Structure formats: structure tokens, C-alpha cells
Amino acid sequence: MIMFFATGAVGVLVGLSGVTPPNLKIMITLMSIINIGLGAFFTFIYLTQIQGEPDARKKKRKQKLD
């Protein structure tokens, strides 16, 4: 998730800077916005997960001490 946000932010900065050729400015900026959108989507999916119940079959049973 952080990867999407970081590459999106760097892409926006590079796309809007004077270093980028004029014919690539809009393409780099749009791809950066898509990266930021993907980061937001995956963050939403991660934060809204429902915790699964532990499987009773895998639970260790206590041994009887005689």
C-alpha cells in the first residue's frame, strides 16, 4: 500500500516538474493518480477486513495429568 502512495507521489512531482518532456507530462501524472487510487483502494480493503474465527480443529487439547 505504501508502495502505491510513494510511487504515486513521486510520479506526480516528476510529472509536474520541468524535467519531464512536455509530451509525457500528462501521461506520467495520470499514471501517478492511478497509483494513488490503487493505494487508497487496497488500504480500504485492508482496513475493512473481518477477522476470522479460530478453527476449533486446530486448537490444542489439554492433556490430563494423573
pLDDT in tens, 5-63: 999 999 999 999 988 899 999 999 999 999 999 999 999 999 999 888 777 777 666 66
Which residues, 6 or more positions from 48, have their beta carbon under 8 angstroms from its beta carbon? none
Position 57 scores a pLDDT of: 74
Interatomic CA distance for residues 11 and 6, integer angstroms: 8
- Given a contact cutoff of 8 angstroms between Cβ atoms, the answer to whether 1 and 43 are in contact is yes
pTM greater than 0.85 (yes/no): no
Return the C-alpha cell found at 63: 492433556
**In the chain, where are the structural domains located?**
2-47
Burial annotation 25-63 (CB, 10 A radius, 16+ → b, else e): eeebbeebeebbebbeeeeeeeeeeeeeeeeeeeeeeee
Position 3 scores a pLDDT of: 93
